Amino acid sequence: MPSPYTMSRRSFLRTTAALSALRAVPAWAQPHPNRVFAYIGTYTGASGIEGNGQGIVLCEANLETGELSHGTLVAKTPNPSWIAIHPSKKFLYAVNEVSDYAGGNGSVSAFAIDYATGALRALNTVSSEGAIPAYLSLDASGRFVFVANYGGGSIAVLPIRDDGSLGSATDVHRDRDSVGRTHAADAPPGSFAVSGHDAPHAHMIASDPGNRFVLATDLGQDRIYAYAFDPDTGKLSSVPAKPFITLPSGDGPRHFAFHPNGRWLYSIQEESTTVALFDYDPSTGSLTPRQTLSALPPGFAGTNFASEILIAPNGKTLYSANRLHDTISVFAIETDGRLTWKAETSTLGDYPRNCCIAPGGRFLYVGDQRSDSITSFRTHPETGLLTFTGHYASVATPACITFLV
């Protein structure tokens, strides 16, 4: 994971109970059929990670125009770089991407949501069981949070209590094995991308569509792990036949996305900026590689760090975000799942860390980390091509965008 990580530890007054509703929720915060709340996690400068945000920001997205309203700070919490909403819509969970909580760990914070206003109320904060947590997700039943600790090279399962607060981890797995080469095997010509192959670095964790298996990427090891998930106990067990699949050395698998049909999985590699297609077997949790191609335009040479991967709700288009190149790549998903390059669109900002498709699939929002902005694009319903709406929103060091629907 490239900048903003310095991995140095600074003295930081730990926030164990995040403050909520720091100022009055604005008058526009009322339910409306063509508007939806958007929560934006920001980098705050905690644990030596560069950022000038303050926590979780609440905006409102207009689903007719794509405009994003001016943001209101609703939770002051350190480095909430990834957030997820409970299936009930009553609770929100955020990683705190720090390394100074409870003996050198990161943490996860829980909040109650006021559905009418979007305001957040802090519930509690617990250890993520590893440093620098970079990602979290929920199982389909809403009983457990899965968290990936980039700095700690570990994954953990946290139980959700009846009141939405979090308990101590029910299971922790730490990646221990060889790491990939410093430079990606499949990097573009002239690439100087170097990141994350000094040790194991868990980067994403999520359950499959059937909630039977949990998959987790390790960027440092160039692996995607598969675990059988017990939804009663919150325990993960390695799949004996094929506990992981290995990508080319140094490529750095970061995030993945399932196709709506549940049979295809697409992975974005951070250092090589490639997209890999796998056939997924929902009965065994196993992956079979089928296609790998560059996520950069034909003929590209130089350095880039891929950050995000999305699939349109209709299953026809795949998007990937490119940091340094500062574009969104657009691919057609053919009837057999294979990808065909279509276009690139400038994000009109600097260092797109995250992108998200709004409910209804008509707009795509991009968080440009280094330009303190979010840009919105209209998506073509058939081609998937992107058109800038003309709308910017000013948000300090955005890291993650999530909608309340």
What distance lies between CA 296 and its chain's CA centroid? 20
Tell me the pLDDT tens digit for each residue of 372-387.
999 999 999 999 999 9
Q: Which amino acid makes up residue 96?
A: N
At 46, give phi and psi (nearest 5°): -70, 150
User: What pLDDT is recorded for position 195?
Assistant: 77
User: What pLDDT is recorded for position 335?
Assistant: 98
How confident is residue 177, by pLDDT bands cut at 50, 70 and 90? Answer: confident
Report the alpha-carbon distance of residue 44 to residue 132 in Å, rounded.
13
Tell me the pLDDT tens digit for each residue of 213-241.
999 999 999 999 999 999 999 999 999 88
Report the alpha-carbon distance of residue 152 to residue 176 in Å, rounded.
11
Q: Identify the three-state secondary structure at position 74.
A: strand
Q: What is the pTM of this model?
A: 0.92
| Residue whose pair of structure tokens reads 């560059």 in the numeric block | 294
Mean pLDDT of the chain: 92
Tokens for 351?
């260092």
User: What pLDDT is recorded for position 241?
Assistant: 82
Closest CA to 146 of 98, 219, 202: 202
Report the alpha-carbon distance of residue 246 to residue 225 in Å, rounded.
9
Eight-state DSSP code of residue 124? E
Q: Which amino acid makes up residue 233?
A: T
Tokens for 166?
């979090």
Do 27 and 55 meet the contact criterion of CB atoms below 8 Å apart? no
Closest CA to 170 of 235, 214, 109: 235
Eight-state DSSP code of residue 284? T
Tell me the pLDDT tens digit for each residue of 247-294.
999 999 999 999 999 999 999 999 999 999 999 999 999 999 999 999
- Per-residue buried b or exposed e for 151-186, using 16+ beta carbons within 10 Å of the residue's own CB: bbbbbbbbbbeeebbbeebbbbbebeeebbeeebbb
Closest CA to 101 of 152, 41, 166, 50: 152
